[in-house]
Structure 1
Amino acid sequence: MVYSNRSDRGHRHLLLFFMILAAWEAGSGQIHYSVPEESKHGTFVGRIAQDLGLEVAELVPRLFRVASKGHGDLLEVNLQNGILFVNSRIDREALCGRSAECSIHLEVIVDRPLQVFHVEVEVKDINDNPPVFPETKKRIIIAESRPPETRFPLDGASDADIGVNSALTYRIDPNDYFALDTQNNREQTSSLSLVLKKSLDREQIQEHSLLLTARDGGKPEMTGTVQLQIAILDVNDNAPEFDQFIYKVTVFENAVNGTLVIKLNATDLDEGTNGDIIYSFRRPVTPAVLNAFTINPNSGEIRTKGRLDFEEKKLYEISVEAIDKGNIPMAGHCTILVEVLDINDNIPQITITSLTLPVQEDAQVSTVIALISVSDRDSGANGQVTCTLTPQVPFKLVSTFKNYYSLVLDSALDRESVSHYTLVRRRASVPRGHY
């Protein structure tokens, strides 16, 4: 809401009067810089004053200041030389997670006269995170009757970096019995499996110990390891099998508690207890999966639990195993990729960066009254926001940058006719957010 209080007089009124009479010049365009993450304090980013066409000597008198929404004091400007520099530790992974693009948006404001500039500082990824496996040791139980080419799923490593710095390759110690197989899919997840190359003989070798190593693509590369302890057992020569190795399903983020996601159906060729199957999440289970889903051990039904939020997590990878009740249990495995679908459940957020009140009756047309920014956490059309004003008012909104607007005077004011205006946000009944 924007309004003018006709009782607001005195010194504040006079000060604002002279500010409005000053020349208004709106900053145009955008300056781009880049800086590697983890740069030391004082690292040079750019000659911001020079690039904006400002004299260093006028920075202090003109009240030069920098606003960075949500990013604190990561970057700062030396007012003595007009240089933008790194002020505190920038952790790209903490700032943007696994997003391919990561930038800090700065809004540079100078007064006398008022100017606004937009500066984008791209944060470059460095290879500062090694691959990490969920466990340091992994115990695998394999019946000696399993035939060659049988696959045993492994938990791959994760790397907090992006791009080539997070591109992982795997290898295991050379041996006669096992090989690695990695399959990538369009969801950018990988299925890592241990493949049996030749028949096992428990009487010859009761346990195999192999070191699994993950290497990233950074320079220099970083590695992570897990020790595979493979125990060889007898008996129960048929394991439960799923009809697919990977299932892909979708669920809306507003799904109610207990919504059925998928009903799994593994089969076992054995009879009696050797063919009875118990379903469970394969360990280790991530907290995200435990908080969002449950699995019925008897029916294989996976249902929602708690609240899903597309803005927090868009894709869940759930590893499931089906274990029979044989004297020496055998297991089948599958992976369910659950895609969370967005709904329009977040209202646009409006922030007024700078506000000039009250407005003088003789203010010139095109005088900037306020600087406004809007945002919406939803995605796609649900996250696209436009701004409108109450009709028949002498103001208009001018888009100065993506999701940034200036509220400017559109026609002459007449205080004797109207002493104040109330500008109301309006929401339109359309699928995408509209304010």
Structure 2
Amino acid sequence: MVVSWGLVLRVALVQAAWSVGVGQVRYSVPEEAKAGTVVGRLAQDLGLEAGDAEWRRLRLVSQGRGSSVEVSGASGALVVSSRLDREELCGKSAPCALRLEVLVERPLRVFHVELEVTDINDNAPIFRVNEEAFSIAESSLPGSRFPLEGASDADVGANGQISYTLSPSDHVTLDHQDNNDQSASLALILVKPLDRETVPVHRLVLTASDGGRPSLSGTMELVISVLDSNDNAPQFNQSIYNVKVLEGSEPGTLLITVSATDFDEGINSEIIYLFSRHITAEVKEMFSIDGNKGEIRLKGKLDYEEMDNYEIMVEARDKGSPPLSGHCKVVLEVLDVNDNAPEVWVTSLSVPVSEDAPPGTVVALLSVSDRDSGANGRVRCAVWPSSPFGLVSRFAGSYSLVLREALDRERVWEYEVEVRAEDGGSPPLRATRGVRVPVSDVNDNAPSFLQAVYTVLARENNAAGAELARVWARDPDEAGNGRVSYSLWEGGVGGASPSVGRRAASSYVSVDAESGRVWAVQPLDYEEVQVLQFEVRAVDAGDPPLCGNATVQVFVVDENDNAPALLPSSVGGGWGGSSVEAVPGSLWAWASWGAPAGQVVAKIRAVDADSGYNAWLRYEVWEPRGKGPFRVGLYSGEVTTARALEEADGPRQRLVIVVRDHGEPSRSATATLSVSLVEGGESSSSSSGSSSSSSSGVRPSWGAEVGAASASGASATNVWLVVAICAVSSLFLLALVLYGASRWAPRAAVLSGPGPATLVCASEVGSWSYSQRQSRSLCVAEGAGKSDLMVFSPNFPPPPAAAVENGSVGKGLSLSPLASGMVR
């Protein structure tokens, strides 16, 4: 009984499976749809109630290509689960339909769903290769067809329909027939013959476009190489070649090279040269031609008397099939020549010739002959150069080489005389004979310096033995006549201090007899001598000896080798106090409480034995640091109140004042000023006491001056202040004018030009302190910020003629390396 019920159940299930409805559900979805896109309401279309899809377990059965869609369990909708690519699923098949099986388990039912994937234009046409190269012969006729391989498009329908376009061309066009076999229907049609000589390679672009919207396209480059055909005959660059050749030319002489060109390529452009078959036997015997180079050479002996011209027909033939050829004519003219040239011999020669030899002196005897006869044997002779020698004919065929002008060995020490002989032939033949005539020297030139005055700058305190300058005298004579020795002439010393007296130049410098170098015997001191002037004498070793002189001016450049020194000063009284020096190096001054700002308390005076910037002094308060009640004028040295004095400032102020110069490195001196602060009455009594002590003969060794308190004293001070400001301004403007003149003037003008040596020195600028000695000073500014000027114009004689020839004029002064470095 149990077995029977089981059998009934199996039959029922089989019948239920066969009782599935015969209808199908169809859906359509575009390819490349995004995941989650709803394809259709599958549960509703299958007749299921809302919400029954999950309970009745609605699901897809088939896998493989249908795995790109799935059934949503909650809604029962068919949705896209992954990328759909129609070309991957169906290739070129159209339409692309996917068959899906849908299973409902409660109760068991099977449904067939058909899903069509529609095409979109997502593939551009592509060619198999990016470039296709093929060759077309330039002899191809118009209408020739050259098949091409078309492009392919993975899309279908209108998206896969391809049209072609070709870039513009005058020679080919594109033929495309719309059929299923795209590659067989695409071809290039030749519409105009190709010319390789004009354009050897054509590059075209073939574009394939599909019918989608928007349209997609792909390109391929077509490279058409034009194959050459033998359609150009060789052409000579001249149709007639004219050649002239002298009779008697040696066999093998190259007469001419003919050249032809062929615009074809390859074997069609290879040319061979040969004589035309119409030339005579004489031409073949007399000339030969190189088949590869086109060189025509002489094979026999030309004789003008036998034949004076030849006509040679030449052919240029290419190696094409069939070969083409070009022709030209070579017209060769034989020129008559004079076969024998004149001959010149030197039979006697008397050298060297002294430079003081008189005109008419016989130098050489010459003999001239020519083996020809008639006009070709008549010889004319000449000498070159035409001076200072000449030819004198003694009799036929004999000449004398004589001196016509005075000689100068320093100008020309040897002559290359050329005797030229020419016959009367047509054309004439010439012969030459060279005669070397050396000139011996005599002592006829004195040594001469390039400069009459040498200007040298030398720093003081230079080491003994230092080279100051180098003078050089030129003597154009040779050997002993031109060997120069130098000596120092005992001249005076300019610009020396009166206390030193006049000393000989040899006590300061010496001159090397051979090299002309000027050495320092002892260190130079600017405070002792500022300008050292002496003469150097140059004497040659001739017989008798000759000499020359030059003046050397050595300007000593000051260095900062002296420190500032405080000057003694008389005691003065003034408003608010006076100053008295009690101990050397320590100054005393008095000031009243309540004295206004700017009141002069004292004045520090100092000098520097140097000059220029080295003697320009400035004053600074070293102590106390910071803001004190007193200050000192930077260049005046006046100690003034910085503010109104108060009792809080104390009964005494101690100032340490540093006096510095502007040298490099700077030197300094210090002074201590003690200022006592008192009441107004005490200040007056102190002033009177100071006056009485001054009148009694008390005089300090170091001092400072105090400003006057009276109205008249103040007025006088203001007047002198205005005068000082005006003087300083004038000096400053003068320095600017001189500086500008030195800048705009050529630098060579500073050390050259006629006239006596002149010094212009701006040694006091602003509030410079000056030296007590009223002596000449030389100011040299090395730094860019200094405005010292120096202008001097030594005398320079005109250079000797020999110096002009040797190019030594205009080379400037001959200075020592040290002096050259100091000239700016």
Q: What's the TM-score once normalised by structure 2's chain length?
A: 0.26
Whose RCO is larger (CA < 8 A, sep 6+)? 1
The structure having more radius of gyration, on CA atoms, is 2
Q: What's the TM-score once normalised by structure 1's chain length?
A: 0.49
